[in-house]
Chain A
Amino acid sequence: MSQDDRVNIALLSCGSEYAGIQAELESAAEMVNARLVYPEIDVAILDTIEMDFGLQITSPDLKLMMARTKAVAEGTARVDGVFVASCFRCAEAAIVRNEVRRYIHKYSDVPVISYSFTERTTAGTLLTRMEALTTIVRRKHLLAREHQTGLTAGIDSGSTTTKAVIMRDDKIIGCGWVPTIRVIDSAEKAFEQALQESGVKRDEIQAFGTTGYGRFLIGDHFKAKLVQEEITVNSKGAVYLANKQKGSATVIDIGGMDNKAISVEDGIPGMFTMGGICAGASGRFLEMAAKRLGVDITELGDLAIKGMQKKVEMNSYCIVFGIQSLVNSLAKGSTPEDVAAAACHSVVEQIFEQQLQEVDVKEPVILVGGSSLIEGVPKALGELLKIDILVPLNSQFIGAVGAALLASGYVGE
């Protein structure tokens, strides 16, 4: 990356210097060729900033955060993006953080990513966020794209499955889905399926987009125009498929090995969490449950819809102990329907406890990823959040669709 490519990120934070993670923030910024800056304010603004926001608070550093927000929104501080950070478990800061995002979004078009940290937050964790933020800055024109044009392909090389779609002028004309074994072979296979379904030839494709774990490898292989992390791609893909491109939305992606919860504004990610510590909160848990019930994963959802999760006692979310609970319940005479429902609830509850508490859950909630097809999962999530969950058509192809949509920005270049 050249020096010209360097972006200025305003760090609006409370507590980062004292939690011992300031150095981690600096180094994450450095890795994506960004510079952290601290907007200057007129001290008189501090007297009026609370009334300006309509939010009275007691922590001076949060007042300073609001004053700096105003400087960014009004353009007196010239920055390319904003990183908002405050302590995890601070209620006052969580309220301010949310308002800061809303304020900047209302009065400017500077992108914002926010995060709540603990002393255990590392540069690695922050890097994904900084990367997403700088991507939004550097590829703003691309992310503004609301329609897929031309003939493009998107390939999502996930940890468990590889998905491919071929799109022409806003329509999916072919798709492929295979288990991920060898990254390039699996991508080729999925793409071949999509080609066959669409009836187009490989060399007719005008642009490729890749995402997912294997994005770099298959990006090289297909000479992709767009190689992009899945937070940005999935946000865009979800609001596109759900036809909710404007305004707020929450995207929940339950993948084979990890999950993402992304708070989205006009299709652009603002705050997100990525799971991956525990398989009990992933599609893998559902696969295991289906196996123990002796049904195919595609049948698990049907079963779950008919069952009552409350009839099954689960002592753990763990993929070992939780599954054991399910097996014990079966032995005690629980119906497979109830057990299937309990499995879906278990996954959703863990996502709620571990991830959704760190993002602002704003309607509509769009559920995507392979697990969204297991009807018991959106049902359980809806019951937990007390809101209707949107599962768009082709939700399992979310990453591939997002990649094909964004890649169409390169058609004709």
Chain B
Amino acid sequence: MAKVFIYPTNSLILSDLVERFGHKPLAMMGKVREKITTVGIDSPPLNITPEDPKLGLKYAAVEVPAGVRGRMSLVGPLIDEAEAAIIVGDAEISFGCMGCARTNELTKYLARKKNIPIIELVYPKSEEEGREFVYSIAEFLKSLPMEEGSA
């Protein structure tokens, strides 16, 4: 089972497909859950405190806006952990964690720069494209090692 980073990081379709084909999706939702259930921090809504953008310095310089670094403090560790990645590049309507274009550019860049199997596509607009989309992702996921931690 490989840990597969997905982009958009909150995608239902990608998260579902990764799990469906026997791997572990590395998605924002799990990260948010981890964050909001942290004991002893009360900084609604996401429990992100001014300390988090500092953790984001690992991924972006101090001159990069605080909102980018704060988001990177969530998404960066997912990329660090990733053994493979699926990137769907044309999601336009995603807010919040995915709401900042600069963060999204940096996220994709860091995933690509990592030396892991990666597949890049766009969302399907027709039945034919849908088939191509699902088939490519399925083949990609099947090509990843199934044993734990062997990727």
- A59-B100, A59-B102, A60-B98 are known contacts. Are A18 and B67 too (CB-CB below 8 A)? yes
Q: Return B85 CB to nearest CB of chain A, in Å.
A: 21
Task: Say yes or no: is B122 at the interface (Cβ < 8 Å to chain A).
Answer: no
A92 and B101 within 8 A (CB): yes
Tally A-B pairs: CB < 8 A. Answer: 107
Judge whether A139 is part of the interface by a CB distance below 8 angstroms.
no
Query: Across the interface, which residues of A come within 8 angstroms of B95, CB to CB?
Result: 60-61, 64
Which of A14, A15, A17 meets B45, CB within 8 Å? A17
A19 to B67 Cα, complex, angstroms:
4
- Is B102 within 8 A of A18, CB to CB? no
Interface size in chain A (residues, C-beta < 8 A): 30
- A61 near B66 (CB under 8 angstroms)? no
A120 part of interface (Cβ distance < 8 Å): yes
Chain A CB count within 10 A is highest, among B92, B96, B99, for B99
Surface stretch bound by B, among A4-12, A83-91, A327-335, A398-406: A83-91
Q: Does A21 make an interface contact (CB < 8 A)?
A: yes
Q: Decide if A15 touches B101 in the complex (CB within 8 Å).
A: no
In the complex, which of the residues A58, A61, A87, A93 contacts B96, with contact meaning CB atoms closer than 8 Å? A61
Asked whether, in the complex, the Cβ of A60 is within 8 Å of the Cβ of B92, the reply is yes
A117 at the interface (CB under 8 A from B): yes
Contacting pair B98 A15 (CB below 8 A): no
Establish whether residues A15 and B67, one from each chain, have CB atoms under 8 Å apart when the complex forms.
yes
Chain B residue at smallest Cβ distance from A90: B65
CA–CA, A308 and B63, complex, Å: 35
Q: Name which residue of chain A comes closest to B73, CB basis.
A: A18
CB atoms of B45 and A18 under 8 A apart: no
A119 to B43, Cβ gap below 8 A?
no
Known contacts A16-B67, A89-B65; decide if A22 and B99 are in contact (CB<8 Å): no
Is B93's CB within 8 Å of the partner chain A? yes
Contact assessment for B52 and A61 in the assembled complex, using a CB-CB cutoff below 8 Å: no
Name the B residues within 8 Å of A19 (CB-CB). 48, 50, 53, 65-67, 69-70
Contact of A14 among B51, B69, B100 (CB under 8 A): B100
Smallest distance from the beta carbon of B13 to chain A beta carbons, Å? 18
Q: Which of A15, A18, A20, A117: most chain B CB closer than 10 A? A: A18
- Per the bound structure, the CA–CA distance linking A46 and B139 in Å amounts to 35
Given contacts A19-B70, A64-B99, contact A46 B93 (CB under 8 A): yes
Beta-carbon nearest neighbor of A89 in chain B: B65
Residues of A within 8 A of B98 (CB): 60
Is B99 within 8 A of A59, CB to CB? yes
Residues in B with CB closer than 8 Å to A98 are none
- B108 contacts the other chain (CB 8 A): no
A18 touching B94 by the CB < 8 A rule? no
Pairwise interchain contact B65-A15, C-beta atoms closer than 8 A? yes
Residues of B within 8 A of A90 (CB): 65, 67-68, 102
Contact with A along B40-75 (1 / 0, CB 8 A): 001111101111111000000001111111110010
A46 to chain B, nearest CB (A): 6
Name the residue in B54, B69, B94 with the highest tally of chain A Cβ atoms < 10 Å from its Cβ. B69
Interchain CB contact under 8 A, A60 and B99: yes
A61-B99 in contact (CB<8A): yes
User: A76: CB under 8 A from chain B?
Assistant: no
* Chain B residues with a Cβ under 8 A of chain A: 42-46, 48-54, 63-71, 74, 92-102
